[in-house]
Amino acid sequence: MPWLFLRAQRWLVPVLAGAGLAVILSGCRIFDPPAAPAKAMADLPIKKVVLYQNGVGYFERRGKTNLESVELRVRPDQVNDVLKSLAVLDLSGGAASSISLPAEKSADRQQADLPAQVRNATGMIGMLAVLRGADVTVETNSDTWSGRVVGVENPPQSKDEKTRPATVTLLVGDDRLVPVHIDAIKKVTIGDRALSVGLKQSLDISKREGAWKPVSLQVRVAGDKTHDLLISYIHEVPVWRPAYRAWVESGKGLQLQGWAVVDNTSGEDWNKVNLSLVVGAPLSFRYDLHTAHHVVRPDLSVRLPQEAVAPPEPDSGFDAAPADAPAAPAAEAAAMPPPAPSLAPEAKVAEEDLKKRDVRKEAMLDASGAGPGGGGMGEGRFGKDEASPRMRRGAKAVAAVAAVNEQEDERQKRDQAIKNVQALVTGKEVGALYAYEASYPVTVPDRSSALINILNRHLEGRDVYLFREPGSGQPPYRAVMLKNDATGPGAGALEGGPITLYIDGTFAGEGFVGHIAKGEVAFVPYARESGSTVSQSSDDKTDELRLVTVVDGRIRIEGKQLHIRTFTVESNAGKPGLAYVKTSATANMTLRDPPKDFIKAGSDWYVPVPMPAKGKGETVIVEESPVSFEELDVTERAADAMILYLKGAKVEDAVRGPIQQLLAIRAQIGDIQRDTKGLDSQRAVLDDEQRRIQGNLDSLPTGAVAADLRRQLVGQLESASKKAAEVAKKLVENEVKIAALREKSVVLLRSIALK
């Protein structure tokens, strides 16, 4: 049958109606037009991979081809990122003409495109029910029937009667109805090709079959010549993770190695690619460009014209269309960046110190007996055959030195090996990011991971004790303090990750470092510390008071408010060390004269406290902030500021005299106040004595027996009253004097004009 005729007969299929037509017929080979012959396509290899901390990877493909198209095969979950970021450059001067890929429909829309009969069918009974009218072949244990499905009966069940099975009725031939029990059916063959294909597609959609299959993108390039193509794009990848190892030795700083764990789940091998690992996370997002997006449109069919209008008479006499504009010039070829330089190796280990050499020299002298009073080897004051005590001591010393030499050699070999491990990447800053670039091509097979050495740096660092804020309840730790102070190639930020610590050549513990920018300091706790405590005390006072103005009896003073904190660490350790106490800055105050080794990290402070062996260490820090006061009298604070002011080199006599008088008056008032305080104490004693005497008088019996004692007590009471009256008189006089001096002080204060 000719293909055009078959196309015209598609409407004869009874169940292929509506939107399901194109989807189901696409699976029927008899209805498809002949396929065009396949064209050759080039496959460009991956040459560069850049992995970021935000879960995306940048990929570059590079190669030359004289074919007209290039094929990219990506997983379905990568398609949207590739469509969002794909860039094609023809470095030979050409250009990409088009990029094509299969269209994608959502599962809901694919289901909607299927006939309702197939879309809603489940199980044998449900499937046979929706096949009403379709040709089927039903096989049972004893018979085979071919016919059309009339319907399915599922009789209601009753408790009193035997269970009746469901039955499908077939029209066999022209006029024969045959019932078949469904539970006796062994096989049903659908005779309608379109329905069977639709059923398969419905099952594929439910299973999401094909989601794992790669999607093919075809990039077509214009022109018949050799094309030098660079194709780049991004898609989601696992985040690369750093892990560090650090060796710390007393007085030698810290040697840091960094390794990156890289996972290749891209779907193809990375074979000798230029690999870069970026510290930082540029902004990125997901966006669905592959799935067809449909919007609801209003139906304006009612606005269609009701009758056609006849065309007018043709016009003539217009000019011909202008010639086509010349083609735009080809884009210039993009230059590739030069390869990054390789990292220079670290410096060699220093020579032994002179002290160790002197110890070894002394040991050799002991062994030879050539010291003071000794002879040559084997000879001493005890003769040739008897070893001298000096020689025996020398032999032990030689053995000890040999052991020290062996340990020293091993340590130097280890240090040299650590420092000579050259990182296989170089580093450079890229805007706000920092990138590690592999110095050599890297191969990572698909579905595998690789461990790549990214840095080997010597940093400032040491083993310390770390205490949290005193009173926080957090335990102290042993920690490694490291400063990211490396310079030169490879120096830059450190991404956060686990770190394994070795102290003096021995495994000490593990920790975790966060992101450390260049120049920042980090503390890495690696073990709990016991037997050490920290405490804090504080005090507040004013300092550096300065007389600013005196106007209308108002004294304005400026100075510094001091907040003094003392940190005390008590240690039971067997050797001295350095502790850091983490604390916070006081709001609106600054630190005066920070102590040595003090570290500031934002609002957090790390205060160094020297820790003696089994003792207490102490560090005092002083915070300050500017303050101002306004006094209406010569207070102690105002007097201090005035005394400091008079010590200045240039003080006018018109101001000096009144200020000196004010200070003298204040001194007089102070003397009187001290005298008043003594008088108050004396009066209190006299009052107590009068109450005691009066109590004794009240307790005496009446009569001649107690007359003499009563007269004595009355005399004592009169004497105490007289003294109390004299004290009261002096107190009143002092109050009068103070009031007069204060009035004089106010007059003098108002006479001063200091601006």
Nearest to 89 by CA among 333, 350, 341, 286: 333
* Cα–Cα dist 435/439, whole Å: 12
Domain assignment present for residue 688? The answer is yes
Percentage, residues of the chain above pLDDT 90: 23
Domain assignment present for residue 213? The answer is no
In this model, does residue 348 exceed pLDDT 70? no
Which of 469, 490, 522 marks a domain boundary?
A: 522
Through-space distance between the first and last CA atoms of the chain, rounded to whole angstroms: 115
Domain assignment present for residue 144? The answer is yes
C-alpha torsion sign, points 265, 267, 271, 276: negative
Q: Which residues of 544-583 are buried (b: 16+ CB within 10 A; e: fewer)?
A: ebebbebeebebbbebbbbbbbebbbbbebeeebbbbbbb
H-helix or E-strand spanning residue 193: helix 193-207
Domain assignment present for residue 569? The answer is yes
Query: Are 714 and 568 in the same domain?
Result: no
Higher pLDDT: 384 or 516? It is 516
Q: Which residues contact 658 (CB under 8 A, 6 or more apart)?
A: 748, 749, 751, 752
Encode pLDDT of 350-386 as tens digits. 344 444 445 444 544 444 444 444 444 444 444 444 4
In this model, does residue 738 exceed pLDDT 90? yes
* Cα–Cα dist 395/117, whole Å: 102
Q: Which pLDDT score is estimated for 618? A: 94
Domain assignment present for residue 12? The answer is no
Structure tokens at 269: 């091998």
In this model, does residue 292 exceed pLDDT 80? no
Lowest-confidence segment of 111-120, 491-500, 603-612 by average pLDDT: 111-120
Confidence label for 663 from pLDDT (cuts 50, 70 and 90): very high
Q: For residue 723, what are the domain limits?
A: 658-751
Higher pLDDT: 153 or 110? It is 153
State the average pLDDT over residues 324-339.
38
Contact 476, 534 (CB under 8 A): yes
Lowest-confidence segment of 384-393, 400-409, 618-627 by average pLDDT: 384-393
* Cα–Cα dist 173/325, whole Å: 71
Domain assignment present for residue 567? The answer is yes
Nearest to 562 by CA among 581, 545, 547: 545
Encode pLDDT of 523-576 as tens digits. 999 998 887 889 999 999 998 888 989 998 899 999 999 999 999 998 887 788
Query: Are 510 and 584 in the same domain?
Result: no
Q: Which pLDDT score is estimated for 488? A: 60
Encode pLDDT of 398-415 as tens digits. 666 666 676 666 566 555
Q: Which pLDDT score is estimated for 421? A: 44
Which of 522, 557, 574 marks a domain boundary?
A: 522
Strands (E), 397-514: 425-430, 433-438, 442-444, 448-467, 477-483, 497-503, 506-513
Query: Are 510 and 464 in the same domain?
Result: yes
Contact 43, 71 (CB under 8 A): yes
Q: Give long-range contacts, CB 8 A cutoff, 24+ apart: 355-362.
A: 356/404, 356/408, 359/401, 360/401, 360/405, 362/397
Confidence label for 118 from pLDDT (cuts 50, 70 and 90): low
Confidence label for 192 from pLDDT (cuts 50, 70 and 90): confident
Query: Are 427 and 503 in the same domain?
Result: yes
In this model, does residue 672 exceed pLDDT 90? yes
Q: Is the pTM of this model over 0.85?
A: no
State the average pLDDT over residues 590-612.
89
In this model, does residue 22 exceed pLDDT 50? no
State the average pLDDT over residues 118-129.
69
Q: Which pLDDT score is estimated for 490? A: 56
Higher pLDDT: 362 or 664? It is 664
Which of 503, 522, 541 marks a domain boundary?
A: 522
* Cα–Cα dist 138/183, whole Å: 12
* Cα–Cα dist 22/197, whole Å: 12
Query: Are 590 and 738 in the same domain?
Result: no
* Cα–Cα dist 102/4, whole Å: 26
Nearest to 271 by CA among 483, 563, 61: 61
Higher pLDDT: 333 or 685? It is 685
Encode pLDDT of 204-229 as tens digits. 655 554 444 667 778 888 777 788 88
Q: Give long-range contacts, CB 8 A cutoff, 24+ apart: 693-699.
A: 693/717, 693/720
CB atoms within 10 A of CB 715: 11
Q: Could you give the angle at the alpha carbon of 333 between the alpha carbons of 328 and 335, nearest 5°?
A: 150
Query: Are 567 and 491 in the same domain?
Result: no
Structure tokens at 354: 């002179």
* Cα–Cα dist 451/18, whole Å: 56
State the average pLDDT over residues 444-454.
88
Largest CA distance in the chain: 163
| Residue keyed to tokens 């604390």 | 583
Three-state secondary-structure class, residue 463: strand
Structure tokens at 107: 């599962």
Contact 599, 580 (CB under 8 A): yes
C-alpha torsion sign, points 698, 704, 710, 714: positive
Three-state secondary-structure class, residue 114: coil
Query: Are 554 and 610 in the same domain?
Result: yes
The three state secondary structure string of 217-235 is EEEEECCCCCEEEEEEEEE
H-helix or E-strand spanning residue 735: helix 707-751
H-helix or E-strand spanning residue 249: strand 241-249
Lowest-confidence segment of 35-49, 382-396, 702-716 by average pLDDT: 382-396
Q: How many domains does the chain have?
A: 4
Mean pLDDT score of the chain, rounded to an integer? 76
Query: Are 669 and 614 in the same domain?
Result: no
Structure tokens at 97: 């003409």
CATH number of the structural domain spanning residue 702: 1.10.287
* Cα–Cα dist 212/236, whole Å: 15
Q: Which residues contact 195 (CB under 8 A, 6 or more apart)?
A: 15, 117, 118, 131, 134
Helices of type H across 344-482: 354-368, 389-420
Q: How many CA atoms lie within 13 A of 601 on its CB side?
A: 20
Domain assignment present for residue 117? The answer is no
Q: Which pLDDT score is estimated for 203? A: 67
Query: Are 620 and 673 in the same domain?
Result: no
In this model, does residue 621 exceed pLDDT 70? yes
Query: Are 543 and 496 in the same domain?
Result: no
State the average pLDDT over residues 695-701.
85
Domain assignment present for residue 503? The answer is yes
Q: Which pLDDT score is estimated for 13? A: 33
Confidence label for 393 from pLDDT (cuts 50, 70 and 90): low
Query: Are 599 and 736 in the same domain?
Result: no
CA 691 from centre of chain: 78
Per-residue CA distances from 366 to 369, 391, 395, 397, 593 (Å) = 5, 6, 8, 8, 53
Q: How many CA atoms lie within 13 A of 537 on its CB side?
A: 6
Structure tokens at 742: 């204060």
Query: Are 263 and 379 in the same domain?
Result: yes
CATH number of the structural domain spanning residue 555: 2.60.40
Contact 217, 289 (CB under 8 A): no
